[in-house]
Amino acid sequence: MRKWPYGDSESPATYEPASSADLRPLLQLAEKETDSSPVRAAVLALALKAYNRAHDSVDSDIRALNTLSGQLKHVFIPTQAPPRDLSVGQGPPEWLLKRGWAQIVARRDRLAFACAQLELDIEDGTHLPCGEYVSLEPDKAPEKWVSRHVQDEPTALVVGLPTVGTPKIFRDPVSGLPVVADMYDDPEGGSRVMHYSTLAPLALPDRSPLGEVILEGPIWIRTEDGALHIAPRPHINGLNYGYDGTCPSNLAALIDKLLDRIDADAVDHDYRSLSVGLYEGFSGGWGRGARLSRHRLLLARQTTGVIEFR
């Protein structure tokens, strides 16, 4: 507004949007990549989305000011938003964005960490190759799951995990996802695990069929080869049990799919064909600590009827 000369009502200044996030790491990483790189496509798409969100905020502010100025005589708002970049709606396909972010979070350099943090801040990690954050107390973490972890240098995917004290970074060789063990000093000597933090997978490996579902916090899937997995849990679909609602229906739909294909995508569910028996079990019939065999789940799936939300 300071650029506007007094009385020049025909020449409003352009108010350039500025994202609240520092987008320089995205642009720096893009400069290091080739034009055909999935990494370049992913970071530039995120930078453009952040810019256009800032543009929308600016445009909203200016429209609000203009509404106010219309109520006051002799008041003119001498600023305008620049044209919006409409190319964001014609950006790279989802599969390319996910491939780019999978490559970024597998890296261990400073730029990769900064870009992964921006994806979390701006898009809530939508394109990262993992699901929701999971926290486990030491006494709730199965020994079979804990004992298979291998200590590893952190990749950029670890930015999705909060840390406390002096953490140790591990990798789960079955899921490929990071596991953080927050440590504390034991008064009797040495150190102990305060709690474990990890990320739920988006899908399970295609190695063995579903053998058992264990209702704890988190929900566990044991496959017939004996491997133990945290249930796939994307950011948009929470899983839970013990009440009527969306999260138990998500769990019923997920298990319905995993009974047929253990590597089924956990993101998309068809609620129109939701199994009544599985939903009734997860919404109230089966409580914490229940160990549900494949046979029991298949029997429940055969129950027909109409789901009634209470």
Q: What is the pLDDT of residues 133-181, one digit of tens each?
A: 899 988 888 999 999 999 999 999 999 887 777 788 999 999 999 999 8
Lowest pLDDT segment from 143-147, 228-232, 306-310: 306-310
CB 287 within 8 A of CB 215: yes
- The string over 264-286, giving b where at least 16 C-beta atoms fall within 10 Å of a residue's C-beta and e elsewhere, is bebeebeeeeebbbbbbbbbeeb
By C-alpha distance, which of 224, 284, 297, 229 is closest to 257? 297
Q: Between 56 and 93, whose confidence is greater?
A: 93
Helix, strand, coil tally for the chain in percent (to 5) = 40, 15, 45
- The pLDDT value given to residue 60: 64
The CB density around residue 190, as the number of other CB atoms within 10 Å, is: 8
Q: What is the mean pLDDT of residues 36-55?
A: 89
Is residue 309 predicted with pLDDT exceeding 60? no
CB 25 within 8 A of CB 54: no
Is residue 302 predicted with pLDDT exceeding 70? yes
Enter the pTM of the model: 0.79
- The pLDDT value given to residue 16: 57
The helix (run of H) or strand (run of E) holding residue 59 is helix 38-70
Is residue 279 predicted with pLDDT exceeding 60? yes
The first and second tokens of residue 259, run together, are 């009974």
With pLDDT > 70 as the criterion, what percentage of the chain qualifies?
75
- The pLDDT value given to residue 235: 74
The first and second tokens of residue 263, run together, are 């590597």
The first and second tokens of residue 86, run together, are 């409409």
Question: Locate tokens 């799951």: which residue?
Answer: 145
Please give the mean pLDDT across all residues of the chain: 83
